[in-house]
Amino acid sequence: MNGKTAKTNPHPVGDSVQRVDAREKVIGSALFADDLQFGAGLLHARIKRSSLPHALIKRIDTSKALALPGVKAVVTGADYPGLIGLYLQDRHIFCRERVRYVGDPVAGVAATSEQIAEQALDLIEVEYEPLPGVFDPEYGASQAAPRLHPDLGKYEVANFIFPEANSNISNHFKIRKGDVDSAWGKCAAIVEHSYRIPHIQHVPIEPHIATARVEADGKVKLWGSSQSPFAQRNLIAKALGISQSDVQVIAPYVGGGFGSKAGVSMEALAVAIAMKVKGHPVKLRLTREEEFYTAFVRQGLVAHFKMGCDSEGHLLAMENRFYWDGGAYTEYGVNITRASGYSSSGPYEVPNVKTDSYCVYTNHPVGGPMRGFGMPEMHSGLEQCIDELARAIAVDPVAFRKRNCVREGSILVTGMVMHPTGLSECLDKAAEAINWGRKDPPSAPNKRRGKGIALMWKAPAMPPNAGSSARVALNEDGTVTVSVGGQEIGQGSFTIAAQMAAASLGVPIDWVRVNTPVNTDYSPYEWQTVASRLTWSMGNAVSAAGRDARKQILEMVAKAWNENSDDLDIIDGKVISYKTEEAISLKNIAIYGVPLPNDQGWVGGPVLGRGNFMPTYVTGLDPETGQGPRAVVHYTTGAQAVEIEIDMDTGKIEVLRGVAAFDVGKAINPDMVKAQMEGGFVQGLSTALFEGLQLKDGIPLNASFVDYRIATSTDVPRDIQAIIVEVPQDDGPWGARGIGEHAMVPTIPAIANAIYDAIGIRPGSPPYTAEKIYLAMQEAGLVS
């Protein structure tokens, strides 16, 4: 293509979805179900994407596309020079000088129909000069690799992210605890292994979709399926050089997120196109094929572990190197790299630890947040090594883990002192529930049965000052309206908000309603719906708002009754006096107040409770050692155990039973907590046995459900036991901490360890497909 005009395919991966009229019609949220909502002026957008993984853009000619009847605007990178990014601003809304992955947005079209917009993409001529690509993060981190971001040293970056200029390393996080080199000679056993964890896709039922409208005065309104409406407002405003007050983001219920709809991925494209057709709403939605490789993917990982223990099974040293495949832009992935670094020992107290965690630019799809935020990938290899190390000194893997797992007062890998945790209790309960130590017979002569167990920990990965806010308003009839900025993505956050508001205020739960949709013009601020932090952070804000409203009501009634507010309470929506046994309903008084005796006026007025929360105690870490007083707000810990059966004729793995035990601090809603444990286990099972985005020279090969396998109901074990452990968190509402992501973290290594228990083979890197297991058994001489 060098020196020639290349008509690039708007669907560069393949032809499984080539035309708008052939692609699936899943719209998602009811907000987008009917174009009539936006009127006859609604325009439809499609994106011209790079067909090459790495190339210079020599020329773009949009004249033929603009001449097509029905086309209203064509946008390129020349229109928007600003950079966008959450932790590292390294990405233009549309590519400018170069493209960096297959699917990189080169131009956008707005037209009166999707069909016309699609036709216009074929008329845009792009001339490329291909460049060498980087398709392996370990190679990408070397000086031999071509530089994908020559301006890396000039990018704006958060002060806790450490890019290395003149390299492809966008963040290098280090841990230096103790003296690793001197510890190896004291070890009775040492295990050393490397693992490659593939990219995977979130595959939400609802694909990404956004509609943007820009008014004549420049004010932007964006409707989007989003986990991060406030972050989107901030990042898009900064990239376009406008005030955040001029950007309004409206986010209805999300049809599946798992991290893919956090931050900004395609939403800025819709806004940028709408800027050129002011007054017209512009709708952009990804096809299922685009969802696989143009939205965020979970980063790939190359991980090298070395760990050793003494003859009694005490861990002495650990040395880890992580090469995170951040993809073409790592504006979100840099924090995954950091999180894996400060958690790199796993949930174990190890006196000597050396970790180097690198986020590396490659010419792969953009890596972003996914359920677990790097912890499933990191634990995949770490917990297999722990299992092997225990067996190397003839110690039971459960006993080995219990001997070394963190507990209250443990000195963590960053030097932080561990808060109270029920991890050892989780381990005991999981082992007991799976009948650890008892070998059950297989269901058939051609099958082998095994059990495996794994531990995990995860902290909310976020800036030290991520805040939450909430409002609690009372209505004339005493009912309560709660306003929050956190998003409902199926995890039950609105239910939790209602429960906490009811409990802190003193009203029945069915009196409480939560305002929807989230709207940045009217909803209280929330950093993002990520990091399993809403129950804890937003919950603190909601409970504070409830207490504030309660205080106003009690002081109002105390003044009217000439009593001390300490003698009053609110129970089931009534203010009662413990002193006089007088009672009054919240109905009417919450808006109109209470009359004073003898018609001497009124006291009170509309009650509006306000609350906010921001952790103020997280400290910075030394960039050379990773040491500091408090690296994170807290850790959620837990254990999983599985029993599997392997078919020796086919290599197929069947998970017979699963046990998940997690310390959640306090289960605000036990049924929803258990549902999260079960759902996380199933999603973890899917990544263990089936999932992997196949990339060859940067080109996705399985960007459809025809070729990308996920677990279905037939793959789920009949018996999943969820066990709640409660050791209260000191800064959590009612002692609660998050559980949304954590149940997905230990599933891969638990299954891998069960495979070893069944057939004596360490399966290494996932997914553990039937073909992979059968070939491993064949190589080991277990089958002919």
Handedness of CA 33, 35, 36, 37 (dihedral sign): positive
**How many Cβ atoms sit within 10 Å of the Cβ of residue 492?**
21
Three-state secondary structure call for residue 375: helix
DSSP letters for 206-259: SPPEEEEEE-TTS-EEEEE--S-HHHHHHHHHHHHT--GGGEEEEE---S--TT
Identity of the amino acid at 408: E
Q: Among this protein's residues, is 476 annotated catalytic?
A: no
Least Cα distance to 282 among 327, 344, 204, 222 occurs for 222
**How many Cβ atoms sit within 10 Å of the Cβ of residue 579?**
12
DSSP label of 662: E
Considering the candidates 555, 741, 771, 779, report the single residue annotated as catalytic: 741
Least Cα distance to 99 among 1, 204, 198 occurs for 1
- Block residue for tokens 């007083």: 629
Q: Number of H helices and number of E strands within the chain?
A: 17, 35
Residues 6+ apart with CB under 8 A from 599: none
Residues 6+ apart with CB under 8 A from 684: 376, 640, 743, 744, 745, 746, 747, 748
Which burial class, exposed, middle or buried, applies to 46 when counting CB atoms under 10 A from its CB (0-12, 13-18, 19+)? buried
Separation between Cα atoms, residue 181 and residue 774, nearest integer Å: 39
Q: What are phi and psi of 68, to 5 degrees?
A: -70, 125
**How many Cβ atoms sit within 10 Å of the Cβ of residue 138?**
16
Q: What is the arrangement of strands in the sheet containing 55-61, beginning at the earlier edge strand?
A: 98-99, 55-61, 125-130
Q: What is the arrangement of strands in the sheet containing 105-111, beginning at the earlier edge strand?
A: 71-76, 105-111, 43-49, 282-285, 209-214, 220-224, 247-251, 518-519
CA atoms within 13 A of residue 447's CA, in its CB half-sphere = 17
Least Cα distance to 388 among 752, 780, 769, 9 occurs for 752
Separation between Cα atoms, residue 321 and residue 304, nearest integer Å: 5
Q: What are phi and psi of 190, to 5 degrees?
A: -135, 135
**How many Cβ atoms sit within 10 Å of the Cβ of residue 562?**
8
Separation between Cα atoms, residue 289 and residue 16, nearest integer Å: 8
Cβ 48 vs Cβ 126: under 8 Å: yes
Least Cα distance to 41 among 286, 285, 282 occurs for 282
Least Cα distance to 380 among 36, 684, 81, 77 occurs for 684
Q: Which of the residues are catalytic? A: 741
